[in-house]
A and B are shown apart, each in its own frame.
Chain A
Amino acid sequence: MVYKKIANEEGNYKDVNEVRYDVLEAHEAWTPQGKNVGWDEYPDMATALAAYGLTYDPVGEL
């Protein structure tokens, strides 16, 4: 799986500084620069979040 961390003020993930992000997940990512260019490969989401230093904190869900 490939992952990409994207800054988003309404994202469902936050870092230690409370800055919010989204994390996109895909089997493969076809970018203008090529396959998976700019995306990170991890075995699963939890590993990716750990690598990114993010925790799941959804916004707007009840």
Chain B
Amino acid sequence: MSIAEVKTQERYQGDGETVQWNITFAFNDKEDLKIYVIGSDGTISEVTEDYAIEGTVLKYPLQTNGTQPLAEGETLLICRCTPMLQELSFDAQADVPPSVLESGYDKAMMIAQELAEQINRAVKFPVGTTNGQTGAQAYLNTINSAVTTAQSAASAAQSAASTAAADAQAAINSYTDTAVGAEKLAREAADATKLDITTAASTYLAQTDAASTYLAKSDAISTYLTQSDAASTYATQSALTTGLAGKQATLTTAQQAAVDSGIDSTKTAQIQTNKEDIAALDAELGEDRPWQKPADWIDIRNGAIDNSVYFLVGHSADYSSYPKFSLNAEVSTGANTYDVYVDGVKQATTASGTATTLDWQTLALSTGWDVTHPTALRTHVVRVTPTTSTDTLTRILIAAISGQVQQGCLWIHFELDNTIRASSLAGSESNKRNLLLEAVTAKGDKITLQTNSSESASGFYGMFAHCESLVTIPTLASDGQYNSGIYIPFNGTKIKKLKLSNLTPSGLAFLNGSSIEKIETDKAISFMSGTGSANKVGEIPLLKNLPPISTKKSENILIQNASSLGDTFIDLSFDDTKKTVRVYGTSTYFCTGVKGLIVSSSAPFDGASPQINVSYTGMNRVALVALFNSLPTVSASQVIDITGATGAADLTADDIAIVTGKGWTLTR
């Protein structure tokens, strides 16, 4: 062969897979090849096993013992190292085959190439070096000197580096000290600021919590009210829905079309008109609707505690209106006390019979509940209860306040089982006004009042007088004791229905200022002796029907100014006790409904004149003549007054003669 290429090595890069490598340079024997692996860190290791050379292919690794192929970063080096031996021997005049001669030349060239490869890797003097300069020792001395110089320089450099490092560290330390000091100052200032902020934040958070609590309570209250209203609305809507569903099923096609056309302003206006018509019809029929709590009022009936009286009281936000509220209570054990709570917090413990005045501006209160009805007010719930739980409240009233006439009570609720005295509860002729009081309610819709007139504050005197917004009260019941008159308790109120139980008052006198239209009672009113203001059914101009009246106990009958009575006929023909009978009105309070009266012909009629008075009544001539015919004969010129009666001007001389013939004087 020829050696046309100077190549004595082969290098291959590992790839983790290849295990066969081509040998592309000439070689005589595979034993002349050396295999090396150069690791990724440059470490050179000779491969002496686990390989095979077949022809010009090296197989490595054989993987017989689990050796993995060369990894990436590893290098396979195949070198030719021909032995430097000449083993040819030629005999004189013997044949020299060309192949043998060529093989010798090839081997020599291979060896030369290998030596050249090694020389190329050696350190050499430059080509211009003379023989005298090629002394190894001198060269080594030069190298050593250079090494020494380099080492010195390196040492100096290291020292300088150390100095620089020290200087840098010193600078760093100095800066650090300064920075730390500044940081310390800054941190202290920050801490101080942080403390201020924290304190302010805590205050803010506390206020926020309080506000959140207030808002949550307000939201809860609003939600409750909304839910109550929604529940009421839902209940109403449910009933309406059920009703409408039934009605809709009966609609004709035309009617359904009308419904489907929707609700417009005309229909809405018609609805309002219908509501007004219904209200008017209710009034005409004597129907009344239950009081509806205003939506934004807290319901003081909910969760009411026994043996307590509650007041919902308001004041303006700036305290200029209704700045104070005062009450007085007595308890069953006179030496004991009563407690006053506001919004659930006890504010006072007061001796029985002594007033408690609440100054809204100075009390430490919750924020209460803001309302818009009847005007913008902040309301609070006042609860009165005996301090000793075994005591009971025996008297309660809103007390007068010196320098303040108007008080802001909106609602009173009695949560009692016992009898109580409540004369002048919320009303007065002059020194207190509860013009905002709209409702009085009670457990079981009944207040049992002590009516023994020998006890202070018994009876009904002035209970609600001048409470001009009052529209509803519960049943007023008696403890069954001696009954005084029900005198001016409702003057000026808007109460339409009076419900009485176990009461036999000596009279009902409301001084023309009452709006009562109906009296429901389970016992008859019993007139007492005398003709005084309390002994009459008097001055109830809107009363539509007389309540049951027992006349037997009274010698005098007085029904005055009942100008709204329906047709009423009074028959006293069985009652022979009467001294006077006066059923009359005035030109202002004309009692059109009084249509007839007859008396007993055995009654004495020896009371004050006029012994009979039917002036300004609706008695026509026929009714008057019937009365005349029932008269007893008298001898003391008793007087019968028919002034202004419907039939007074229609009487004939014969009619009048009936009266005068029995000894009576007739005035008209």
A binds B: yes
* Bound Cα distance A6, B665 (Å): 13
Contact of A10 with B by CB under 8 A: yes
Q: How far is the CB of B242 from chain A (nearest CB, A)?
A: 54
Produce 1/0 per residue, A18-44, CB < 8 A to B: 000010111111111000001000000
Contact of B665 among A25, A30, A60 (CB under 8 A): A30
B508 to chain A, nearest CB (A): 15
Closest to B643 in A: A26
Q: Report Cα–Cα, A35/B250, bound state, in Å.
A: 73
CB-defined contacts of A60 to chain B, threshold 8 Å: 530-534
A51, CB-defined interface residue at 8 Å: no
Answer yes or no: B661 CB below 8 A from chain A CBs: yes
Q: Which residue of A2, A27, A29, A32 is within 8 Å of B661 (Cβ)?
A: A32
Asked if A8 contacts B667 (CB within 8 A), the reply is no
Known: A24-B610, A24-B667, A61-B533. A30 touches B660 (CB 8 A): yes
Cβ of B656 < 8 Å from any Cβ of A? yes
Query: Using an 8 Å CB-CB cutoff, how does the interface string of A37-61 with B read, 1 for contact, 0 for none?
Result: 0100000000000000000000111
> In the complex where A27-B668, A32-B663, A38-B637 touch, is A11 in contact with B533 (Cβ < 8 A)?
no
Within 8 Å of chain A (Cβ to Cβ): is B435?
no
Contact with A along B627-668 (1 / 0, CB 8 A): 000000000010101010000000000001001110111111
CB of A24 within 8 A of CB of B530, answer no
A30: chain B residues at CB < 8 Å are 656, 659-660, 665-668
CB of A62 within 8 Å of the partner chain: yes
Enumerate chain A residues within 8 angstroms of B148, measured Cβ to Cβ.
Answer: none
Q: How extensive is the interface on chain A, given as a class?
A: 20 to 34
Residue of A nearest to B661 (CB): A32
In whole angstroms, how far apart are the Cα atoms of A59 and B639 in the complex? 21
**Which residue in chain A gives the minimum CB-CB distance to B536?**
A60
Query: Residues of A contacting B668 with CB < 8 Å?
Result: 26-28, 30
Q: Is B488 an interface residue (CB 8 A)?
A: yes
Which residues in B have their C-beta under 8 angstroms from that of A8?
Answer: 608-609
A11 near B608: Cβ-Cβ < 8 Å:
yes
In the bound assembly, the distance between CA atoms of A17 and B218 in angstroms comes to 70
Say how far B640's CB is from chain A's closest CB, in angstroms: 10
Least CB distance, A36 to chain B, in whole angstroms: 10
CA distance A2 to B533 in the complex (A): 27
Which of B488, B608, B666 has a CB less than 8 Å from the CB of A29? B666
Q: Please tell me which one of the listed residues A2, A10, A32, A62 contacts residue B608 in the complex, with CB atoms under 8 A apart.
A: A10
- For residue A26, which residue of chain B has the nearest CB? B667
B530 touches A10 (CB 8 A): yes
Q: Are B663 and A28 in contact (CB under 8 A)?
A: no
Q: Complex formed: what's the CA distance from A28 to B639 in Å?
A: 12
* Closest residue of A by beta carbon distance from B665: A31
Closest Cβ–Cβ distance, residue A46 to chain B (whole Å): 18
Q: Give chain B residues whose Cβ lies under 8 Å from the Cβ of A32.
A: 637, 660-661, 663-665
B649 smallest CB distance to A (angstroms): 10
Which B residues touch A10, using CB under 8 A? 530-532, 608
Min CB gap A61→B, angstroms: 6
Residue picked from B488, B531, B639, B656, most chain A C-beta under 10 Å: B639
- Give me 20 A-to-B residue pairs in the complex whose CB atoms sit less than 8 angstroms apart, sorted by A's number: A2-B667, A8-B608, A10-B530, A11-B608, A24-B610, A25-B667, A27-B668, A29-B639, A29-B665, A30-B656, A30-B666, A31-B665, A32-B637, A32-B661, A38-B637, A59-B532, A61-B533, A62-B487, A62-B488, A62-B533
Give me 11 other A-B pairs in contact (C-beta within 8 A), A22-B608, A60-B532, A61-B533 excluded.
A8-B608, A10-B530, A10-B531, A24-B609, A26-B643, A27-B668, A29-B666, A32-B661, A38-B637, A60-B533, A62-B487
